[in-house]
Structure formats: structure tokens, C-alpha cells
A and B are shown apart, each in its own frame.
Chain A
């Protein structure tokens, strides 16, 4: 059994499958789109349309990159505001054409630089939560590696949230948490445990809906297909009502 901090490290491993691997492995006829129509194209977010078996879907991923050059291109999977706006644009497009949305989430967090702040990082994330809450098409989000705080949440206001068994999803990185609370980086393991960031813990808290084993992508695609089919059969009003209740019920009881 891995400890919580070991899970965090595994989730960050460069050997891991990235969003690109999942997208290439699960969908066919993939056609990628670019840009947020407001500022630019953020390569930390990739997305477009494709087929999930016989079903046209919109696919969005936070991509970390494969080698050094590629990682720089994708900004190591940390998006600027235009990345979140690009994702939202693709989701709105999906809504228009009645396509379900599948998001692959893998990010240490939203990129914290001056430009991101001045182009409205907070507003971009907020807008995604706001708009996704009433998006009239099913959304499935899968945390495949790092679920880094608001930057991961911005693509995870979904009908179903899945998580790889060795991924993490956290309000803050254990290192930052340790640094803020105990003024040292040495207690990251204590912080990781306290934060309850593992798939097991989040499943027991009712925050995620399924824990996924690392399996062949064809089988993974079949799981996604089953889930999407089920969600597509729910009338839109009920889908949105249930989505509201899903988040509404988290916290104070």
C-alpha cells in the first residue's frame, strides 16, 4: 500500500499516461480545435471532437507534455485563463450540438504568473464553475493524475467525477500546506494524510463517484461509453437538477 505522499508523487510522475494518451487511446476520428476566441490558444488545454465508439463527443484534457520540449509547449499542464476559456468554449459548443463532454484532468494547478492574474485567472475559473453548473449536456470528468486545486476544479463541475486509484485531488499541494501551517516543507507527508486527497478518501466523502484502475485504454473507453450512455438517457432537467444536488450536498449536513 502506498502512503498518501507516495500517491501524490506517483500522480506527478513523468512516466504516467497524460491526457493525450487517454484521448488517443479512447476516441477515434479525433479533430482538435484551438483558441478561446478572446485572447489566444493555451496549449495546456487540448480539446476537440471525436468518436467514442459510435458516439460523437467533445473531449477536453489538461496536457502536461511528453518530453522537455513538449512540456514547455504545454506549460507543464498549468493553464492560463485563456485555457479555461477555451475549455468553456468547447463545452458550450458541445451543448449546442448535444454532444456529451469528457474532461481529463491532470494539473498541479492554474498557472500563477502576473499575466494570468491580469487576464483574470479567478474570473476564468469562476465562470467555468458557473456555466458548467447548467450546461445542458452530460459532463464526465476524470482525474487521471494531479487534481491541483482550483485549476483542476475548473474542469470538474461534472455529473460524474472519476479518479484513477493513484491520482490525487486536493485543495492545496501538501508542500504548500506544510509550509503555510508549519513553516516547513518537511511535513508534506503529514499534510498529505491530513488533507484527505486520495481516491479512497474522496470516494468515502462522496466527492468522487468512481475509483478507476489503470487498465487497457480500450476497456477504459468501454467504461466511459457505459457511463455516458447512462447519462444521455436522463432528461436534461433531471440531469441538471441532479448535478445541482450533487454539489449542494457536499459539506454541512
Chain B
């Protein structure tokens, strides 16, 4: 299929899903105010009334961060199998596909941001809570390998509950697999920027989410390794205010900057521009 057709296909698919929601209104989880979807979308999926950050699906996320019609997807058809014969896994995969309208929990590909070519991946919280199984690990690994051979940066948007239990140790091993690919990309001088979104936890936090050259986060995003209830059980009292919130994690030294949604594309464009400039100077 040629590129033009690919773009058209992507546009049409987006269009039809947009139509379905265009007339709808959404009630904010936080302030209970109801706003038209159109208004919320214009406001980068932030509640116009109270500033609450609505979760954003992966495809929308990439659209928000990249130049119009510049995204070319990789490995779109890759889908998970129930390798371990884990109970109820097929049903969960089917439900996740319906809910997310995606084949798996991450979308990967190449795009331009302000004219700068970059690899990009975005995880999808609607697909089994963005959990990482073999396909998620494989797609991200392939993207880093592609970026390494093409000398391209990688931008990653994370949202994840961690490793996917239904794939047992195969999913845990994806942490090792992706981390090794990130290292190879880095050793070749590749730039990797992470944007942490709510929530980024467990095995994803303990691997590629924490391995960026530059680590950004959305305001209020929960970022951490252990689940809050588990930590509470260790502590035997309530958790301190702001625990595992991006702002606190930044105070602790693990995040470079908190970037509000409407500034994210410009912010990434600036980072890509600055790195491109330094590469030219060194040549």
C-alpha cells in the first residue's frame, strides 16, 4: 500500500470514530461538570471547568504530539496469543481490543514533530491497563532497533499498570529485552525522551519509563514501582500527601520537568531542535 493510501486509511478510521463521539458530552470525573466532547478535545482533553486530565488513547496521543498526517505506523497487526494457556486471557484480550479499538497496548511508528523526524510510541491505558506482554515488549524493542539503525530519536509516552500477569515470566522478560534495546540505542548516541502519564507503574516504571535521557511527566501523573495499597500495607498507616505523584517524584529527582498537555508538542519540538543543532555543530 502506498503512503497516501495509508494516511487516507488512518484518517478515515479516525474520522469514523470521531463521528461516533462528536455529539456526545462527557462528565468530568473530578468536578462532575458536563462538557461537549468537541470542547474537551479542543482543550487537549483537559476539563475546561476544573483542569482534570482525561485519559487519552494512544492514537489520539500521537495525533496531539505530531505533525498532521506525518505518522506512519509500524507493526500494526501484531497481536497477542495466550502462550501460557492462562485462564480467561483470550476473553480479556477480546474485551481489550473492543474497548481500545487497537490490536495491542502500544502504538509505534515514525512521525515528524515540527518537521523533525522521530520514532514515537504511545501506550494505551484502555488495553488491559497498558500492561506489557510479549507484543508490547516486541513492538517497542523493534522501534528502538529501527531508531538505532536509522539514527533517529525515540519519544515514548507511557501509561501502564506494569507487566502483564497473563503472560507470566515472558512479560517480566520484556523489561530486560526493551532495556537492552534502549541501551544499544543510547550507546549509538540516540536521544530518548519519555513522557510519563497517569499511571506509569510496575514493570514499565522499572524499565524503559525510567531510562530516558530526558524524562517529562504530565501534571499529577502517578509514577512509581509498587502499588499504593501494597506500600500502605508495609507502612501500616496512610500514605503521605502527594506520594507517587509526578510533582513529588520530580522533587525526589527522577523527573526533569512537568509539562502541561497544551505545551507538550512545542516542548518536544524544542528538544528535538536543540539536539539536532548540537549534532550539526559536532559534525
Contact = CB atoms under 8 A, between A and B. Distances in A.
A116 B202 CA distance: 13
A231 interface: no
B234 A194 contact: no
25 contacts: A114-B240, A117-B225, A117-B226, A117-B244, A122-B225, A125-B206, A130-B211, A133-B176, A134-B187, A150-B172, A153-B173, A157-B176, A157-B180, A171-B165, A180-B165, A194-B87, A196-B168, A197-B169, A205-B170, A244-B184, A247-B173, A247-B180, A251-B137, A251-B167, A251-B173
Interface in B205-250: 205-211, 223-227, 230-231, 234-235, 239-240, 243-244, 248
Interface residues of B, number: 59
Contacts of B138: 251-252
Nearest to B173: A250
Contact of B209 (A122, A153, A248): A122
Given A153-B176, A250-B170, A250-B173, A130 B183 contact: yes
A215 B165 CA distance: 33
B252 interface: yes
A114 B172 contact: no
Contacts of B177: 247-248, 250-251
B165 A172 contact: yes
Interface residues of A, number: 49
A172 B138 CA distance: 21
B49 to A, nearest CB: 32
Contacts of B170: 205, 207, 250-251
A126 B203 CA distance: 9
Contacts of A153: 172-173, 175-176
Closest 10 CB pairs of A and B: A251-B134, A112-B226, A122-B205, A133-B180, A252-B138, A129-B179, A122-B225, A125-B206, A126-B210, A123-B210
B108 interface: no
B183 A122 contact: no
Given A134-B180, A172-B165, 4 more contacts: A114-B243, A131-B183, A149-B163, A251-B138
Interface in A96-154: 110-114, 116-123, 125-127, 129-131, 133-134, 149-150, 153-154
Q: Which of A121, A172, A181, A207 has the most CB of B within 10 A?
A: A172
A113 B231 contact: yes
B230 A112 contact: yes
A129 B206 CA distance: 9
Given A129-B176, A130-B182, A150-B203, A248 B243 contact: no
A207 B170 CA distance: 8
Given A129-B176, A247-B177, A119 B252 contact: yes
Interface in B78-113: 78, 84-88
A202 interface: yes
Q: Which of A112, A123, A153, A251 has the most CB of B within 10 A?
A: A251
Q: Which of A123, A126, A169, A207 has the most CB of B within 10 A?
A: A126
Nearest to A131: B183
Interface in A175-219: 177, 180-181, 190, 194-197, 202, 205, 207
A58 interface: no
B171 interface: yes
A170 interface: yes
Interface in A210-253: 243-244, 247-248, 250-252
Contacts, number: 174
B264 interface: no
Interface of A: 110-114, 116-123, 125-127, 129-131, 133-134, 149-150, 153-154, 156-157, 169-172, 177, 180-181, 190, 194-197, 202, 205, 207, 243-244, 247-248, 250-252
Contacts of A156: 176
B151 interface: no
Interface string B28-42: 000000000000000
A116 B240 CA distance: 14
B236 to A, nearest CB: 10
A122 B255 CA distance: 12
A80 B78 CA distance: 37
Given A130-B183, A133-B180, A194-B87, A121 B165 contact: no
A135 to B, nearest CB: 10
Contacts of B253: 120
Contacts of B223: 122
A156 B173 CA distance: 10
A130 B231 CA distance: 26
